[in-house]
Chain A
Amino acid sequence: MINKFTTLAEAVKLVRQGDMLALGGMTLYRRPVAFVRELIRQGTSDLTLLAFTAGFASDLLVGAGLVSRVRTCYFGLEAFGLAPMFTKLASAGKVKIIEETEASIAFGLRATLAGVGFMPGQGWLETDLLKVRPDVRLVDDPYSGRRYVAFPAIRPDVAVIHARLADPSGNAVLGGNLAVDQELSMAADRVIITAEQVVDKLEERADIVGLRVRAVVEAPGGARPTSCYPDYPLDAAEILRYVETCASGGFAEYLREFINSEFPIHNVQ
């Protein structure tokens, strides 16, 4: 077994300026927040952010100015409303959006996994998405003659996935909410696992096979304030505090506090 155990600071160095960085988890669930904190501290910029759904962690990255391009099918805070910094910067035209939907990301990752340039799908036909994504082409089905959208392969440079448990070689247990993480762990060029706990040997079956994992980091509470089911729920009070702080123009202050705090960040009532 190859030991890939390392520190957060070292793992973050696997992300290079200009990379396409994929965040594991879903909107406010099992996001690699500790990793994002260290990334903001190191200031790696000009990133293309790939998040199936983007929420709190992505909004911090965008607000911190590290993201030049966003690829996601949803960028928001669910019940907490709009993602404040994305909404502000995207509305001002200050972050480029590469429009994606559930299907374009799902089929795009599957194309990479299959080693082909695209996967055909029925989505997007007749919509304006094709106008703002001129790189996305149509393809004729050689059997039926029907026309489909050829969703192009998506290959992230780096994927960061927060797990409940991992072993030092990168096999990891996700805890139920699989999100897009199995696919990311096979599609990305470099894969980083942060975990609540790193153990010598997993007692349960792994969701992520560590063959392509480059770094394993122990980060207890590393998803907070997002959830890590079933270990801890979403810290709703902290997400609301973020929304309220941003609503009164306090993002810079929130970010300063965030990067200077030791993880986990937790709103104690």
Chain B
Amino acid sequence: MTDYTVDELICVCIARQVEDGEVLAQGLATPLVMAGYLLARLTHAPNVVFGSAIGNTLCAEWAPLSLARIEDIWLGRAIALTSFPQLVCDTLFSLQPKEFFRPGQIDLYGNSNNIFMGGSYERPHLRLPGCGGIADVTTYHSRVYFYVPRHSRAVFVEKLDFLSGLGHGHPLPDYSGPHYLVSDLGQFDFKGEGGRMRLISCHPGVTVEQIQRKTGFPLEVAPDLHETPPPTAEEVRLLREEIDPLGIRKLETLSGARRRRKLREIIEREQWHGLVHQNSHRQGH
């Protein structure tokens, strides 16, 4: 059996949700999603087009993940450059890109919160970075997907502290609600009654009971529950050697001091790679 880590399994699950030829949107600070998209691009979906929230571009080519030079992926290889308002106002509705969002909190129906956790709105226990465009596109978008790198009761809640992204059950004409969620424990769809979240597969070695213990609402289980197929040796090789040799995807599974240690390690490796690159190409800074 192939040796893999959970971040790699999440990337593989994301890649499997990608269909060839579609437009894929990448949000801010979502390297697991980017790695998953690139894995799809290098395997079954060579004709995807990426829309980036970092470079404000549409892009069909790709480059390995980077911390310091992330714009190289998007700007150096863009089909077209757009401003962010152009991207938001002129392309999101017409192209309906598939996007994987990371919710701060999510409820049984896929409603989400990226504004604050705990306490009150005025005095939260933790203010979150914000919902970006989640409140905008979940009202009309038909291709909303989620990923949760650290499955816990703090994320999967009975009641949201704030509603900043629409799940199922809202009376709006142009929307279909979210379709899919992958966490570090399993995969879920929203095909339960009224658009309820259902567990469709447990990752290898994880039980339904373990997932229920880390979920703040009663878990609905699909009748054809199965085990998530593990990554293949080639998928793992592509992730480690071609797509993300620096290991940036792993940052999303870490927090606090462990995350900062990993960052330090990635920065040192990237600087070393950069020096090698500079010397071999005799470029300036």
Task: State the A residues within 8 Å of B (CB).
Answer: 26-27, 29, 52-53, 72-76, 78-83, 86-87, 90-93, 97, 99-107, 109-110, 121-129, 132, 146, 175-183, 227, 229-237, 240, 243-244, 247, 269
CB distance from B161 to the nearest CB of A (A): 9
Contacts of B162 in A (CB 8 A): 128
Stretch of B11-19, B39-47, B121-129, B237-245 that contacts chain A: B121-129
Whether A123 and B166, one on each chain, are in contact in the complex, defined by CB atoms closer than 8 angstroms, is no
Interface-side segment among B149-157, B187-195, B203-211, B256-264: B256-264
Instruction: Kindly state the separation between the CA atoms of A148 and B59 in the bound complex, as whole angstroms.
Output: 31
Q: Provide the bound-state CA to CA distance between A91 and B271, in Å.
A: 35
Q: Which of B169-177, B214-222, B226-234 contacts A (4 or more CB under 8 A)?
A: B169-177
- Beyond A53-B28, A76-B129, A127-B164, whether A93 also contacts B69 by CB under 8 A is no
Q: Are A229 and B71 in contact (CB under 8 A)?
A: yes
The answer to whether B259 touches A109 (Cβ under 8 A) is: no
- B201 part of interface (Cβ distance < 8 Å): no
Query: Is B60 interfacial (CB 8 A cutoff)?
Result: no
Question: Of the 9-residue stretches B1-9, B79-87, B178-186, which lies at the interface with chain A?
Answer: B79-87
State the CA gap A80–B260 with chains docked (Å).
Answer: 8
Cβ A236 vs Cβ B68 within 8 A? yes
29 A-B pairs within 8 Å (CB atoms) are namely A27-B54, A73-B132, A74-B28, A74-B130, A74-B132, A76-B28, A76-B130, A79-B248, A90-B127, A91-B126, A93-B123, A97-B127, A101-B131, A102-B84, A102-B132, A102-B136, A110-B89, A123-B135, A123-B136, A124-B135, A128-B115, A128-B162, A129-B135, A177-B56, A177-B74, A177-B75, A178-B82, A240-B264, A247-B257
B residues contacting the other copy or chain, number (CB 8 A): 69
Q: Are B285 and A124 in contact (CB under 8 A)?
A: no
Interface members, chain B 240-279 (any A CB < 8 Å): 248, 251, 255, 257, 259-260, 263-264, 266-268, 270-271, 274
Do A181 and B71 touch (CB < 8 A)?
no
Q: Is the CB of A180 within 8 A of B135?
A: no
Are B136's CB and A183's CB within 8 A? no
